[in-house]
Each structure stands twice: as C-alpha cells, then as structure tokens.
Amino acid sequence: MKEIWKIISKFKDYRVSNLGRIKSLKFDKELILKGRISNGYRQVALSVNGYKYTVKVARLVLFTFIGPCPKGMEASHLNDNRSDDRLENLVWESHIENMNRRTEYNTDRKGEKNGRAKLKNKDVVEIRKLLKQRLTNTAIAKRFNVSQPIISGIKLNKIWSYA
C-alpha cells in the first residue's frame, strides 16, 4: 500500500499518513515521531504556539482522512489491535459497537482479565453460592479479602454479572 501524507488541520507543522505514522516539519528536516504507548494506544506529543498536546494516533488518522469524530462515536480498531493505526483498520463507531468488538475478539478486560481484579471467576461462583446460603455480605467480603460493596455489586449483578 502506498503511503499518503496529509496535513493535520489543527497542527499545521505535522503530517499524518494512512499507515498511522506522524512526522514533524517544525525543524529543518522532516522527523518521524516515535510517540509512546499508553494503555496499548499509540500517542504522540504535538505542540502549537507553545502548548503541548498528547493525542492518540488513531484519532489523528481518522480526523485527517475521514473527518471529525461524530457525536457519540469513538475511534475503534477493527482488528482490536490498539497500536495498529493504519487507516484501513480504523473507524468511528459507538462505544457499544467498540465493546462488542472486544467481546468478538475475546479481548475484553472484564473480570479476572482486568489487571486490577482481586477475584477470579471461580471466586465469584463461590460467592454466589454463599449468597444463596444467606451469609452476610460482610462475612463473605472478609473471607475473600474484598470490600462489602464488591459483594453487594455481585449480589445485585452490577459487577461480575457474566461469571
């Protein structure tokens, strides 16, 4: 695929390509920006009039090649690879559509796949059994070393509803 470069309208000293690369024209020579990865997403720091902006590359690609983000939409990676910022891999879509794609690719970060989760799916199954036996939320929370609101959320199916 041929690489096509376009001016980023809000950042006139920068260009973005359909392959998801960003370059700066601020100096005497063109400089391809490496950026950084944050939460899996590629980001670059762009400056205008002395102000520095950190922007996700996917949003820059879509904004420049497709147009502004429609209300209620977000940038979504079709192959669910957050760092693949090629134009052919990006679309504006609703948050629900984006979340459904994660489920489709089995890359959602629910439950024990969430790096901050204190419980495993098997723990939640056990908690549900204990709730049916009418143990108190406080007693169950103590047993699993979590807070009482966590047990309450499980009981009310506000969290871990899929386990």
Digit-coded pLDDT (tens) for 53-83: 999 999 999 999 999 999 999 999 998 888 9
Q: Is the pLDDT of residue 163 over 90?
A: no
The domain boundary residue, chosen from 104, 120, 146: 104
CA distance 129 to 49: 60
Q: Are 117 and 162 in contact (CB under 8 A)?
A: no
The domain boundary residue, chosen from 104, 130, 145: 104
- The parent domain of residue 120 ranges over 112-155
48 and 15 co-located in one domain: yes
Specify if 163 maps to a domain.
no
117 and 96 co-located in one domain: no
Please count the structural domains in the chain: 2
Query: The domain spanning residue 19 has which CATH number?
Result: 3.90.75.20
The domain boundary residue, chosen from 61, 79, 104: 104
Instruction: For the chain, give the mean pLDDT.
Output: 89
| 29 closest CA partner among 11, 8, 47, 13 | 13
40 and 80 co-located in one domain: yes
Tokens standing for residue 73 = 């939409």
Specify if 160 maps to a domain.
no
The model's pTM: 0.68
Place of tokens 């871990």: 160
99 and 120 co-located in one domain: no
The three-point CA angle 63-66-72 to 5° equals 70
